[in-house]
Amino acid sequence: MNPLTLEWIEKAEGDFETMELAARSRRARTRDGLCFHAQQCAEKYLKACLQEADVVFSKTHNLIDLSKSLLTGEPLPAALRPSLRLLNRYSVALRYPGEFATAREAREARDACRAIRLALRAQLGLAPHRKPAPRRSRK
């Protein structure tokens, strides 16, 4: 597997773990972060798939645009499109005052992220669950 693909996957898994931690918290103040990290996980897995397929992609957070780029490689299952549309809303909106995620939105974002992650891990030939990576020290 391409080394840059592996980096995208590692970053995606960091967002996935952060999302799961926020989901266990059940505090209202963690819902926005949960939704954001769910979107980020999906985005980074899409970019990992694009990287592995040698498809050039722009710097974007738009999951719909990224998924359209996959058409040149291995297309996504149509069943994932609603999940992508749902998560696409959380790339920016919840990061600013005036809008807050509800408990229902947080649950839906978590479920959408889990479905996308499983599908894209399978597409990349990865096991559904991963073993934690060893911690790298910075020198």
pLDDT single digits (tens) 84-125:
999 999 998 888 899 999 999 999 999 999 999 999 999 999
Q: How confident is the model over 29-72, as pLDDT tens digits?
A: 999 999 999 999 999 999 999 999 999 998 999 999 999 887 65
Residue 72 token pair? 């040149």
Domain-by-domain residue ranges, the chain? Answer: 3-123
Distance of CA 82 to the CA centre of its chain: 14
User: What CATH number does domain 3-123 carry, 1.20.120.330, 3.30.200.20, 1.20.1300.10, 3.30.420.240?
Assistant: 1.20.120.330
